């Protein structure tokens, strides 16, 4: 059954492809040769044999006249003469087996005389050829036949007047032997052709299939991941070229696997370092978000304080107006004015204290914004490293794709892994581009906030100066109230100065309030941007974890190969 599965072995296919046409060609050749030989035997050998029979028959009938045959039917002495002639004729002609005369006597078939035997008038049934010769009065020849006297071919000549037939038998065994020899020779030639063709096909098939079987074994080893076994080849034909190409593919694949192994280790280490850096960056971003949130809250508090200051300045302005209207009553209310001036002085001191706190908060905000700018630069550096790693990954995946394409069917698994790594590298590039854009926005907003904060600090310093000036004015008011008795004229002059200073203070405080509101809005925008940056960093951290997992999976796949 195994031999019948010819399509499972190239050796058997070659053997069948060689033996079957050879067998068919041999059969056709032997058939043509046999038919040709038989035709020669039938058309020439047997024809010459029949011609020899006719020649012998002519000689025999010339020796035995019909009168002797007729006389021998009744006279035994004539029978002896006839028998002697038959015996002499048989001895004189080589290859002649029998010579005889047969006749019909009283409706019976009898032997009149038979050479080398005494069968006078013994009954013997005529053959169809003998009857035909007698009935048609014509010479007839029989086919080659076998009887008790051997294998022969017979010729019959009738004697119509005596109702007798002269016959001779010649040995025809050589014809059967010749036909048998031709048949045996054909069979032997066919068997020899099958054996020789099968042996040649077996040798050629083995010679062709042996290196292919070795190549199949090495292919199975490569399919199992063993790239350590090299393949030796001493052939220079197509199979040798195939073996050399396979060895080159194995060496190239081993080099690719080694390169991928080293690259996977570098990728895993880089992804681990990247994840640590992103973790630290995430923590720093969280601190920045917390600081900016606190600063935004402080800005809101400053806005509230500035609103309080504005209300207080409005109150001072109103008070100064009342003082201006009631100058005539100030002499009577000097003690009350002194008390009010003392309260105003306290409020100015309180405002000065709040302005100092606002200035301190502004300095802290500036410091935090500078730290935020520094963190942003660090983020940009890390992103640059990430982009470089992504580019290297992309280049490695491209090389792996090219080598996998060169490897053909055995490299399809590596092509899929390379494509997934390339997709991840492209996603990393896209994320890095988004992060760079966000970082750039943060940097621009940070620069804007720093500029706004610097302006706010300048305005706050101006406000502090104005408040201090108010404090000095209130001290002058207090001194003026104390010396109210010196003259209402001096009080009026000081009151007008206070009104002008209060109007300036109110305007300055309103400007500071507007700047503080803008600063609070900018702080909120920075806080929102920092939150977005923190979210992006977390996504990048997750992607870094995925890269590390894929690097580990790639390492596991590569470890299946032995190089």
Residue pLDDT, tens place only, 198-220: 788 778 777 777 777 777 777 88
Kindly state the tokens that stand for 84: 């002697």
**Residue 132's domain is classified under what CATH number?**
3.30.450.40
Q: What is the chain's alpha carbon radius of gyration, rounded to the nearest angstrom?
A: 67
Mean pLDDT score of the chain, rounded to an integer? 76
Residue 376 — very low, low, confident or very high, per pLDDT cuts 50/70/90? Answer: confident
Place of tokens 């943060």: 442
Residue 249 lies in a domain: no
Residue 128: is its pLDDT beyond 80?
yes
Residue 229 lies in a domain: no
Residue 369 — very low, low, confident or very high, per pLDDT cuts 50/70/90? Answer: low
Share of the chain above pLDDT 90, in %: 2
Residue 1 — very low, low, confident or very high, per pLDDT cuts 50/70/90? Answer: very low
Same domain membership, residue 307 and residue 179? no
Tell me whether residue 16 is exposed, middle or buried, using C-beta atoms within 10 angstroms of its C-beta: 0 to 12, 13 to 18, 19 or more: middle
Do residues 170 and 52 touch, judged by C-beta distance below 8 A?
A: yes
Kindly state the tokens that stand for 24: 């068919």
If one counts every other C-beta atom within 10 angstroms of the C-beta of residue 68, the result is 19
* Long-range contacts from 555-560, C-beta under 8 angstroms, 24+ separation: 555/261, 555/264, 555/265, 555/268, 557/413, 557/417, 558/257, 558/260, 558/261, 558/264, 559/261, 560/225
Same domain membership, residue 292 and residue 384? yes
CA distance 170 to 145: 11
Element (H, E) at 109: strand 108-114
Same domain membership, residue 111 and residue 43? no
Beta strands 140-141 and 145-147, pairing class = unpaired
> Which domain covers residue 26, as residue numbers?
1-63+175-223
Do residues 30 and 190 touch, judged by C-beta distance below 8 A?
A: yes
Residue 284: is its pLDDT beyond 80?
no
Same domain membership, residue 316 and residue 301? yes
Q: Following DSSP, what letter does each residue of 414-425 receive, concatenated?
A: HHHHHHHHHHHH
How many domains does the structure of the chain reveal? 3
Same domain membership, residue 73 and residue 55? no
Task: Please give the backbone phi and psi of residue 164, each rounded to the nearest 5 degrees, phi first.
Answer: -130, 165
Collapse the DSSP code of 65 into the 3-class scheme (helix H, G, I; strand E, B; otherwise coil) and give the result: coil
Same domain membership, residue 179 and residue 166? no
Same domain membership, residue 444 and residue 519? yes
Same domain membership, residue 285 and residue 367? yes
CA distance 470 to 359: 18
Residue 230 lies in a domain: no
- Identify the pLDDT of residue 204: 77
What Å distances lie between residue 385 and 278, 381, 434, CA to CA?
Answer: 12, 6, 15
Residue 251 lies in a domain: no
Task: Give the contacts of 101 (CB within 8 A, at least 6 positions apart).
Answer: 64, 69, 72, 82, 86, 111, 112, 113, 164, 165, 166, 167
CA distance 28 to 230: 49
For the entire predicted model, the pTM comes to 0.35
Task: Please give the backbone phi and psi of residue 235, each rounded to the nearest 5 degrees, phi first.
Answer: -90, 155
**Residue 341's domain is classified under what CATH number?**
1.20.1270
Tens of pLDDT, residues 454-492: 777 777 677 667 767 766 765 776 676 577 557 656 655
Same domain membership, residue 355 and residue 305? yes
Kindly state the tokens that stand for 296: 């935004």
Kindly state the tokens that stand for 233: 């080849």
Same domain membership, residue 389 and residue 328? yes
What Å distances lie between residue 510 and 305, 514, 519, CA to CA?
Answer: 12, 6, 14
Residue 436: is its pLDDT beyond 60?
yes
Domain final residue, candidates 109, 141, 171: 171
Pick from 450, 527, 97, 26: nearest CA to 287: 527
Residue 41 lies in a domain: yes
Do residues 376 and 445 touch, judged by C-beta distance below 8 A?
A: no
Q: What is the mean pLDDT of residues 341-359?
A: 72
Same domain membership, residue 164 and residue 184? no
Residue 242 lies in a domain: no
Collapse the DSSP code of 126 into the 3-class scheme (helix H, G, I; strand E, B; otherwise coil) and give the result: coil
- Which of 167-181, 264-278, 477-491, 509-523 comes out lowest in average pLDDT? 477-491
Residue 440 lies in a domain: yes
Task: Give the contacts of 514 (CB within 8 A, at least 6 positions apart).
Answer: none
Same domain membership, residue 505 and residue 370? yes
Share of the chain above pLDDT 70, in %: 77
């Amino acid at each position: 059954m195994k031999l019948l599965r010819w399509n499972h072995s190239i050796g058997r296919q070659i053997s069948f492809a060689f033996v079957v046409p050879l067998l068919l060609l041999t059969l056709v050749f032997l058939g043509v040769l046999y038919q040709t030989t038989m035709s020669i035997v039938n058309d020439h050998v047997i024809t010459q044999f029949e011609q020899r029979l006719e020649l012998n028959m002519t000689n025999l009938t010339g020796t035995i006249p019909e009168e002797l045959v007729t006389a021998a039917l009744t006279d035994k002495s004539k029978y002896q003469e006839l028998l002697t002639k038959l015996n002499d004729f048989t001895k004189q002609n080589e290859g002649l087996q029998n010579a005889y005369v047969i006749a019909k006597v009283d409706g019976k078939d009898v032997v009149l005389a038979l050479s080398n035997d005494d069968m006078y008038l013994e009954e013997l049934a005529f053959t169809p050829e003998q009857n035909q010769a007698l009935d048609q009065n014509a010479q007839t020849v029989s086919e080659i036949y076998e009887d008790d006297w051997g294998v022969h071919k017979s010729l019959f000549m009738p004697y119509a007047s005596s109702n007798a037939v002269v016959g001779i038998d010649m040995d025809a065994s050589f014809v059967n032997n010749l036909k048998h020899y031709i048949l045996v020779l054909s069979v032997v030639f066919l068997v020899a052709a099958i054996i020789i063709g099968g042996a040649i096909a077996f040798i050629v098939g083995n010679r062709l299939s042996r290196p292919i079987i070795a190549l199949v074994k090495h292919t199975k080893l490569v399919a199992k991941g063993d790239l350590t076994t090299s393949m030796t080849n001493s052939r220079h034909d197509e199979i040798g070229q195939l073996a050399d190409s396979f060895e080159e593919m194995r060496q190239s694949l081993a080099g690719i696997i080694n390169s991928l192994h080293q690259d996977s280790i570098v990728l895993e280490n880089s992804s681990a370092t990247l994840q640590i850096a992103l973790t630290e960056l995430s923590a720093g971003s969280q601190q920045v978000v917390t600081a900016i949130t606190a600063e935004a809250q402080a800005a809101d508090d400053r806005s509230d304080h500035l609103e309080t200051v504005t209300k207080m300045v409005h109150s001072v302005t109103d008070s100064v107006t009342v003082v201006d209207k009631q100058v005539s009553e100030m002499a009577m209310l000097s003690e009350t004015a002194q008390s009010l001036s003392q309260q105003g002085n306290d409020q100015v001191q309180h405002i000065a204290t709040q302005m100092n706190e606002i200035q301190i908060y502004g300095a802290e905000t500036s410091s935090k914004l500078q730290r935020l700018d520094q963190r942003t630069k660090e983020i940009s550096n890390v992103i640059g490293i990430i982009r470089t790693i992504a580019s290297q990954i992309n280049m490695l995946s491209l090389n792996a794709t090219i080598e996998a394409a060169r490897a053909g069917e055995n490299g399809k698994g590596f092509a899929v892994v390379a494509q997934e790594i390339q997709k991840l590298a492209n996603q990393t590039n896209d994320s890095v581009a988004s992060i760079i854009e966000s970082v750039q926005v943060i940097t621009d907003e940070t620069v804007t906030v720093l500029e706004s904060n610097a302006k706010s600090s300048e305005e706050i310093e101006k406000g502090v100066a104005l408040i201090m000036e108010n404090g000095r004015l209130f001290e002058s008011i207090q001194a003026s109230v104390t010396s109210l008795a010196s003259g209402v004229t001096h009080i009026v002059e000081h009151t007008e100065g206070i009104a002008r200073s209060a109007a300036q203070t109110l305007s300055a405080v309103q400007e500071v309030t507007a700047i503080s509101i803008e600063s609070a809005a900018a702080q909120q925008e920075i806080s929102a941007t920092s939150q977005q940056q923190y979210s992006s960093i977390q996504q990048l951290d997750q992607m870094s974890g995925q890269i590390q997992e894929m690097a580990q999976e790639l390492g596991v796949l590569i470890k299946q190969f032995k190089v």
